[in-house]
Amino acid sequence: MSQTTAVHGEKISLLRVLGPAHVWALGVGIVLVGEYMGWNFAVGKGGMIAALIACWVAGLLYTCVAMIDSEVTSTVAAAGGQYAQAKHIVGPLMAFNVGLYLVFAYTMLEAANAITLGYLVQTVGTMAGFADVHDKPFIVLTIMFLAWLNYRGVYATLTVNLILTAIAFVAILILFAAVKPWSNELLNHQAMLNGLPYGWLGVIASLHFGLWYYLGIEGTCQAAEEVRSPARSLPLGTMTGIMTLLIAATMTWYVCSGLMPWEYLGQAVTPLFDAARLTNSMPLMVLLFVGTVFSTLASANGCINDASRAWFSMGRDRYLPTWFGAVHPKNRTPYRSIVFLVPVALVFAYFAPLDQVITFSILSGLLGYTYMSLNVILFRRKWPLGMIKRGYIHPFHPLPALVLLLLCSVTYFAVFLGYGTQLIAMLIFFVVASLWFHFHRYQYVRRGDQFTMQWPRPVGY
């Protein structure tokens, strides 16, 4: 692999060193932890069947997200992903908000991963007879180590993610085969399934945590400025990523729902590890412990990568202080943005409950998906097919965008059913942030410097 260095006086930029496998590792690596923890809270809100319906409905939502992202990002190949798209297609205020959605979605997911890892180490330590093991030091060490890895360089970061994610995914496949789904020797779905204890309202409520199966696959867009061939690598990595997650999510539900009663599963912190414990197989327990640890590390690692790219892009465009828009002269990473977001993740990981941290991440992502459904419609309207070259064209337009908008609307109601106060508080926060940007920060923005894509004038302008 050859890496170019910046000549004196030349603007230092991010390195283009990534391929499709790294894009897959970034997307799936962030999300696969959703199979290891968090998704099962949907069981507590609606029951086993509701959680399965939520899994597939959320899968449809994220398939739409993946298709839309693959088209727009293969065309707008810039760091910041959806933020860069909003900047070019909608306008500054929308771009500022989308940038915040991305940063909070990934930073909160990073915090949730650190909480899970700390809990898992504490649980295993207690099982091994070490009663004095505490989770807080492991939370801090996890975030600090991964921030250092991201600081050092993107190629090493995502190569590590590729290895961790592959092992964590193989662990799910091995557990699925080990419980012998073709027999009733270990699985007992008839006894465990409980119908719909809260009716169809429970199905809607379970959509809240159904998103956790896939939340973060859109993070592949953040690598747009660092892949060698955006038109090929981004669609290929993103679409294979969502296929991987759909398979893993269905397998996870099938195994856990056949081994644990819904009352327990609905509040478990590490459901796949608990499933392995119920098989009474020490090799499986060790494997799923390793898989859970690796999935949390891969997810937190990818989250630091994505959140820092969004924050860096906003600083580079003067939406935030330009201090954040610096690139490390040797490592070629947005090092100031990486370091700045570390204490934010630590505060939430240290003091906030897991379900609230997950909800914060889900709501931030949901706001971003709502924007995406409108963004692709505007993109097609302003630059119709044939007007500019696209690396991928998503089919059935505008149906995916309309389906995505409908599913997002239903999911807002699902979140409101259990976390209405948090939903309202977050919306107020984003309104206040928008007012700050409009009346204070916007005066520093140089509109002409933002538009880096060599596109023709849009239709109607």
Break the chain down into helix, strand, coil percent, rounded to 5: 75, 0, 25
Taking each helix axis as running N to C, give the angle between helix 354-382 and helix 399-439, from 0 to 180 degrees, rounded to the nearest 10.
Answer: 100
Is the pLDDT at 4 greater than 90? The verdict is no
Distance between CA atoms of residues 21 and 237, nearest Å:
6
pLDDT > 70 fraction of the chain, expressed in percent and rounded: 97
pLDDT digit string (tens) for 125-147?
887 777 777 888 999 999 999 99
Residues 143-184 pLDDT 10s: 999 999 999 988 888 889 899 999 999 999 999 999 999 888
Stretch among 63-72, 107-116, 125-134, 191-200 having the lowest mean pLDDT: 125-134
Cα–Cα distance measured from residue 70 to residue 399, given in angstroms and rounded to the nearest whole number: 16
**Distance between alpha carbon 411 and the CA centroid of its chain, in Å?**
17
Are the CB atoms for 319 and 96 separated by under 8 Å? yes
Question: Which domains are delineated in the chain?
Answer: 20-448 (1.20.1740.10)
Better pLDDT: 437 or 229: 437
Question: What's 395's DSSP letter?
Answer: S
| Mean pLDDT along residues 357-379 | 92
What pLDDT digit, counting tens, does each position of 316-363 carry?
A: 999 999 999 999 999 889 999 999 999 999 999 989 888 889 899 999
Counting every residue written for the chain, the total comes to: 461
Residue-level pLDDT at 19: 86
Pull the structure tokens for residue 248: 């893993």
- The alpha-carbon radius of gyration of the chain (Å, integer) is 21
Place of tokens 């003091």: 351
pLDDT at 433: 96
Give the pLDDT confidence score for residue 126 in this predicted structure. 82
CB atoms within 10 A of CB 394: 22
pLDDT in tens, 289-308: 999 999 999 999 999 999 99
pLDDT of residue 13: 66
Give Cα 390 distance to the centre of its chain. 24
Q: What is the mean pLDDT of residues 399-410?
A: 93
Give the global pTM: 0.87
Helices 399-439 and 92-127: angle between axes, nearest 10 degrees: 100
